[in-house]
Every structure is written in C-alpha cells, then in structure tokens.
A and B are shown apart, each in its own frame.
Chain A
Amino acid sequence: MSAAGRTPRPVSIASFAQAKNVRRDQERNEVEGLMPVIAEVFGNIGITKDDVDFICSGSTDYLIGGPFSFVMALDAVGVWPPRSESHVEMDGAFALYEAWVLLQEGEIDAALVYSFGRSSLGDLREILALQLDPYYLAPLWPDPISLAALQARALIDAGKATEADFAAIAARSRRDALANPHAQVALDVSADTLLEDEYVVSPLRRHALPPITDGAAAIVLAAGDKAARWSEHPVWITGFDHRMESHALGARDLTSSPSTAKAADVAGVADGPIDVAEIHAPYAHQEIIVKQALGLGDDVTINPSGGPLAANPLMSAGLIRIGEAAARIASGEARRAVAHATSGPCLQQNLVCVLEGE
C-alpha cells in the first residue's frame, strides 16, 4: 500500500546485470563500460531494446567532469529509432522508481533502467563536497568522510554503537563478498584485525569507508504478460517509496533515519517477514542506522552480496542493492526482501523497495 492507499500494479524485476566492480577502469569509457551490461541484462531473458517501452538512467556529470555524461551513455543502448527516455541526476535506484511510476499507469509493460559512474576519475572528497549548500557549507569543503565521521561519532556518543560494531560489519561484508564475483573488496579477515587499522577520520577506520569503485548496472522491469513471459518465477516489487530529509546537518538527529522509516512505512516493509536486506550504507555505521529505521531484527540477513563496503560504484550502488535483493529471491534463498538506496551526506535521502517472490 502506498501513501494514497492504492495497491500498486505488480511490476517485476525481470533481469539484472552489473559490471565487475573495480577500483579503476581506465581502458573503457562510459559507453564501453555499459555496453556489456546492457547486452547481459537483455540477454538474460532473450529480449532486445525493441521489447522495452521506456528507458531511464541515473548518473552524475560530476564524475566525468563534463556536462551531459548521460547523453553519450545512451549510445550503449542505441536509441534508434528514437525512444521514450528520461534521466535522473541520481542513483539508478531513483531511475528505477521513475520507470516503476510509469509502469503504474498501465499503458506500458516494460522498461530498461541503467546507471553508471567511474568514481576513480577525480577526488571524491572534493567532488562530493560540491553537493553541499554552495553559499554556507561548500566553501568550507567539508568532505564526505568527515561528515560521515561526525555521524559515527554521534552514534557512539549516543551509546548506539561502538567502533567494534563498525569493524564487525566490515568484516562480515568482506567475507560475504567472497561469494560475489562482482565484488571489489573480498577477503576473510577478522574484526579484531580490522580494528588495528589507523583512523582515516576518527572514529572511522579505512574498513568503515566505502571503496572507490567504477561500475555500472542495469535492470529490466516488466509488468503484465511480459512479466510472466520473461520470468518463470517473477520477483515482484510490492512496495516502493523514497523520502528526503533536511540538508541542515545540525537540524537532524544523525543517529536515526526518519526518512528511511517513513519510506519503509509507505512501502510496507512491516507487512510481512523480511528474509534479506540489501542496505546502501556506504559507511559501516550507517548500516546500523538504516537497519533500525527499517525495523529489521537480527534474524534478517544483511547485505549477503557484501554490500557497499565491498563495492560502491557511485550512482549504481543503490540500483545494485535492488538487483542483488531480487537475485536472492530468484534463487530461492529468500521469499521477501527489502532493498535500500541513499543519497546526500549522512543518509539525507533514502529509498526503500520491497520485493517478493511468489
């Protein structure tokens, strides 16, 4: 059920593909990086671009350092004859939301969503500072790691977590990533060993930070006959919402995430048991905040893919959470899952997508 009390039209995650997440992909440009992902997402279910009615992508110009990076990226699909197409300057999870909205109208039955970004091209600590209020905040260049550290410190001061908790999350993510062929940081290492790291910005050590990742991802959404035709056991989106918080960090309780809680409520997370959660928490401590806001107990498997601590391709990491959660249901490991995506400093904007198998 959504805010307006309507039951959404069933839409399935018909196919998901992602690039191998790597620290630096310098041999290929954005189009070349996307092409195999687009080919795979169609190839998985034996369709072509002619079978989708709408295309929506998510990316940001600031990674490539030039305007209109999404324009050339369209060549990875090849929009000829012309297509109904749109773009959000947001994570691909929000592009998926836009496509899902269109499918709700019932006039089209399939959409391609993709996202891409090479985080390695510039200095993310400088680039992400440009997301901040350009008059009062950005000129001070508070970098994203320092802002996340403020949040982690607040969490510790509130007695809600310890540095050992951060290390335990990082160790679990690295270990789980060993089973994920697309992961970037995968190793079997104990939390105690990780705690021997130096601080990058206290209280965050290197293991609590997201890796710098180049990547891309794509999902095909289907409804109606196409959903049935393209998947033997469709994975359905049963709830989908996202919410914004204030940009004024000082006006927020950084140890909680009311926007996630609100989105979870609208998306109906609590309407049934959750088996798996894929949480887009780029910093280890943020997983604790989001998990609580989603109302998840300790019986829920968190980030079996390794999550964003194992690979954090900017603009795709949220979309990948939805794809990974759907994959757990498709494989039969889970029946009901929740995927989360975030944007902005200290979890300012959050998206929640509930997925269910049959």
Chain B
Amino acid sequence: MPERCAVIGVGQTHHKAKRDDVSIAGLVREAAKMALADADLTWADIDAVVIGKAPDMFEGNMMPEIYLAPALGAVGKPMIRVHTAGSVGGSTALVAAHLVKSGIHKRVLTVAYEKQSDSDAMWALSVPQPFAAPLLAGAGGYFAPHIRAYMRRSGAPEHIGRMVAVKDRLNAMRNPYAHLHLPDIDMKMVEDSMMLWEPLRYLESCPSSDGAAAMVLAAEDAISGQYPPAWIHGTAMRSEPTMFAGRDQVNPQAGRDCSADVYAQAGITNPREQIDVAEIYVPFSWYEPMWLENLGFCELGDGWKLTESGATAFDGDIPWNTSGGVLSSNPIGASGMLRFLEVAMQVRGQAGEHQIDGARLALGQAYGGGSQFFAMWVVGSDKP
C-alpha cells in the first residue's frame, strides 16, 4: 500500500506580465520560500526537489534544474525535472507525490514556473520541424478548430465562451496573486475585444504571465504547517498520441480515462455531487464546457448548459476555477501546478476571499500538448 501523502505548504508569486524585479532563480525561490513558511519548515527539512516547466526553448535555458539547484536548496539532494507539455505543473506535483507515497522521502518540495517575459512562446512553439506541419498560430490557433467542432456538436450558443471569460475574471478579483484584475469585466467588454482565432476573442484567451508555484508534500508522520493538510485522495496521468484517424480531440479518451482512474481512487462516483470545488485547466474560455463533459460533470453535449446555468460560478453548486484560472494567470509551466495548488488551498481553508465555504473534496486538472496529456489529483480535508 502506498503511504498517505498531503500538501502541507503552498506558495505562489504575484503573477504578472513582466516580473523584471527578479531573475528566474528569484522567481522560483519566492514561491518556494512561501511554501516552506506555510509548512513551518526550512530548506534543511526538505528531502528532495521536483521541478517542472514547459519547453526549455521558451526562456532559452536548457535543462534549467542545473542552474536552479542552489536557488531551490537542492544541493546535496535528489532533484528531478519533469516536462509533460502544458500538463507539466500537474505532472510535476504528481512525481513529487509519488516520492512520498512510495515511502522514499518524508518531505518533498515541488516547484513549477514560467518566465514568459524572458521568452517568446509563440516563436518557440512554431519552430519548423522536418515532416511536421508548423504550428504557426501558437496554442490558440491549434485549439480554435476543436472549439468550433464542440460548438457544432453541442449546439452551444456563442455567448457561453464569453460567460466563462467573465466568470473567471470575476473570480480573479478575489485572488491577490492573479495576473489579470479586470474590475470592469462584462460580456460587452469580452465581445468588444479583438478576434484572435475565430471564435476566440482576446479576452477569451489566457494571458502571458511570469510566475511560479510551489508546494511542500509530506508523509503522514511529517505533517506540519499553518493550516490543516490537504490529503491526496487520488493521482493519475494519461497520454494519447497527437494525431491519428479517429482521435477525438474535442473529448479526448485520455482525459476520460484519467478522470475515471482518479475518481476510482478517491471513491467518487458522481463528480458533480461529490466534488465541492474544481480547478480545471481552461486556457481558452470554451474549454470549461468541453472539460465539464470530459470530466463527467454532465452528459455529453450538456457542458455549456451547466456553464450557462451558473453552476460553475463562485456561488454555483460546482464552483470551477475559483482562483481565476488559467484565463487570469498563465505562467505556462506553473499553470498546471496552480490548479493543483488552488484546490489544496480550498480544502485547507486558506483561500481567503476565494474560499468556498465547507470545501472538503476538490479536483485539480491540467492538460497539455494537443489535448493529449492529462494530470489530475483529488485532495480532501479528510484523511483517505
């Protein structure tokens, strides 16, 4: 049997378009120090460090764990660098969780980051490769056709995407660490913003952020910290190929399998009923209704109706992305970990203005690549 594992400390930076006050090392250290303080620990208490980020070509720093080791107190310790595309922040937390669940370590620091102002993601994603179609339009250009396919399949009306864009930005107003604080956000403002990749408008897309996230994970006999632990009830990863005939990119099998796995571990048979709050990787507005269906919160084709009904709003019965989500802060490599971190904060009762009262069981999800890599965890305030 795996050991029990819990989140005992969380930390994140103030995410911004440009954090030109810190180096990359300064950025990750800021989040890590906050997580250590939250856990009432010092660097010396940490057994191992697991770090993740999106492609190295973003910042132009190859295998950056080599450079970041001293800044993260990893000298003399094991250090692992995870890279699983956009899901990496989630996968990184899962690798750290396994170091504890396996009984190998007692306390593991896990960190994820991106310093997009030091980088050019659009360029890095669009480098021509032999025998491969270039992705000249970045991630939005890749996902827009799948969104159109979803709209056609489900018959969802156009305003659904705008509703998500507004809802997540309103949530971000409650989160002091969020990159975007748009107090005047409303449907009209989203509708008036520039069309980027039809049907996605500027305000239906994630920002480009500098930021880092960090967590301390601990074994049952090493619990400490300012808040109660967030116990890990389930962890799962799934991958499927980028492309082949018959692959459903709107509702990927890997996402469905991953959620089935993590729900089974956590004893969840009715996600909408049992999950109190969820942080789901929604970099483009329409991914909320798409993932509502993929994650089994409703029947196929009904995701948009849930969004439209207000069920996923802050005061709805299944609040999604209480932090403001990827739509409000997107330090790419850290975006997955921020989802995992937010749900840990919720079940620990430390989310402040964005706290959902009585949150006891929560789902964090991250995805990456061409909707082909998935990482999920379920955390709860009760010991599993």
Contacts and interface: CB of A to CB of B under 8 A. Distances in A.
Contacts of B372: 71
Interface string A192-232: 00000000000000000000000000000000000000000
B253 A131 contact: no
A3 B46 CA distance: 12
A348 B70 CA distance: 11
A106 B83 contact: no
Interface of A: 2-4, 6, 29, 55, 60-62, 64-68, 70-72, 74-75, 78-90, 94, 97-98, 101-102, 104-107, 127-128, 130-135, 138, 241-248, 258-259, 262, 343-345, 348-349
23 contacts: A3-B47, A6-B104, A62-B57, A66-B57, A67-B127, A84-B237, A85-B373, A90-B65, A101-B95, A101-B98, A101-B104, A104-B103, A104-B104, A131-B66, A133-B67, A243-B78, A244-B49, A244-B77, A246-B69, A262-B76, A343-B66, A344-B66, A349-B66
A88 B61 contact: no
B359 interface: no
B309 interface: no
B69 A130 contact: no
B60, B130, B239 interface centre (most CB from chain A within 10 Å): B239
A86 B91 contact: yes
A244 B76 contact: yes
A132 B79 contact: no
Contact of A131 (B2, B47, B67, B78): B67
Contacts of A88: 80-83
Contacts of B258: 82
Q: Tell me the dominant secondary structure on chain B's binding face.
A: loop
Interface in B93-145: 94-95, 98-99, 101-106, 118, 124-125, 127-132
A83 B239 CA distance: 5
A259 B78 CA distance: 9
B184 to A, nearest CB: 36
B127 A65 contact: yes
Contacts of B70: 246-248
Given A6-B103, A61-B55, A88-B82, A105 B98 contact: yes
Given A4-B103, A29-B131, A85-B238, A244 B74 contact: yes
Contact of B55 (A67, A245, A246, A259): A67
Contact of A90 (B47, B74, B75, B81): B81
A340 B78 CA distance: 14
A348 B80 contact: no
